């Protein structure tokens, strides 16, 4: 059975809010993953329809939430997504590995990308799990730091596989800015001046 209500509270940074049923009653918890339209973020005061379900602790929460006036699709429905981000990440990692094999980059650089990507993926997974449990969240600045340090391929994989942080426009703007900065830093390391500084740094630390 579907009900109708209004999103009277929404915390976009945490990805959840509350729906007040039409006709009154206790506000109902709603998580961003319950939205039928993942590409639209609530601002508050939107009229919605929803189903009622239970979380892992047996508490009531809204499910399959659709904005009134839009055609709702099942929450887990497949939507066409651009293949560019994953292809870009794979191509980038292949490029870094090739540069290391050709001696243009030390082996530690591909290793940094692999390790930080794994850590980024795990951080996204922990953050999504915490969001579902309404527990302590990983700061967005921490997720962006992983991307800046080279973990953005793993972050992209997490956004695709886990469907986390992929629809929030403000997050995506900062994320891609971090990707651009990281790629720019790698380009500098491949230049004569950057390579010189990198050799001096590794030689000094060895």
Q: What CA–CA distance (Å, rounded) separates 20 from 92?
A: 47
For residue 108, give both structure tokens. Answer: 């530690």
Torsions phi, psi of 107, nearest 5?
-60, -25
Predicted confidence (pLDDT) per residue in 156-190, tens digit:
999 999 888 887 888 999 999 999 999 999 999 99
**Angle at CA 13, nearest 5°, toward 8 and 16?**
45
Average pLDDT of the chain?
Answer: 87
Higher-confidence residue: 120 or 205?
120
Predicted confidence (pLDDT) per residue in 45-89, tens digit:
889 999 998 877 778 899 999 888 765 444 444 445 678 888 999
Predicted confidence (pLDDT) per residue in 132-150, tens digit:
776 788 899 999 999 999 9
Q: What CA–CA distance (Å, rounded) separates 64 from 114?
A: 36
How confident is the model at residue 204, as a pLDDT?
A: 52
Are the C-beta atoms of 182 and 147 separated by less than 8 Å?
yes
For residue 97, give both structure tokens. Answer: 């590995």
How confident is the model at residue 14, as a pLDDT?
A: 82
**Angle at CA 13, nearest 5°, toward 9 and 16?**
45
When pLDDT is averaged across residues 113-119 and rounded to a whole number, the result is: 97
Domains of the chain: 3-67 (2.40.50.140), 84-205 (no CATH)
Q: Of 1, 5, 15, 8, which is closest to residue 162 (Cα–Cα)? A: 15
Could you tell me the pLDDT band of residue 112, with boundaries at 50, 70 and 90? very high
How confident is the model at residue 72, as a pLDDT?
A: 45
pTM score above 0.85:
no
Other C-beta atoms lying within 10 Å of the C-beta of residue 204: 7
Higher-confidence residue: 54 or 116?
116
Other C-beta atoms lying within 10 Å of the C-beta of residue 70: 12
């Amino acid at each position: 059975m579907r009900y109708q209500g209004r999103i009277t509270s929404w915390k976009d940074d945490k990805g959840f809010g509350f729906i007040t049923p039409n006709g009154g009653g206790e506000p109902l918890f709603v998580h961003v993953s319950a939205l039928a339209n993942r590409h639209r973020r609530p601002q508050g005061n939107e009229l919605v329809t929803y189903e009622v379900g239970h979380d892992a602790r047996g508490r009531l929460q809204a499910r399959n939430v659709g904005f009134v006036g839009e055609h709702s699709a099942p929450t887990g429905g497949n939507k066409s997504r651009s293949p560019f981000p994953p292809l870009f990440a794979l191509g980038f990692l292949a490029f870094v590995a090739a540069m290391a094999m050709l001696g243009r980059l030390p082996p530690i650089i591909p290793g940094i990308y692999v390790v930080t990507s794994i850590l980024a993926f795990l951080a996204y997974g922990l953050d999504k799990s915490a969001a579902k449990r309404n527990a302590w969240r990983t700061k967005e600045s921490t997720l962006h730091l992983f991307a800046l340090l080279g973990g953005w391929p793993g972050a992209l994989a997490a956004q695709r596989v886990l469907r986390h942080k992929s629809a929030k426009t403000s997050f995506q703007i900062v994320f891609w800015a971090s990707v651009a900065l990281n790629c720019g830093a790698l380009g500098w390391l491949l230049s004569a001046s950057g390579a010189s500084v990198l050799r001096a740094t590794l030689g000094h630390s060895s």
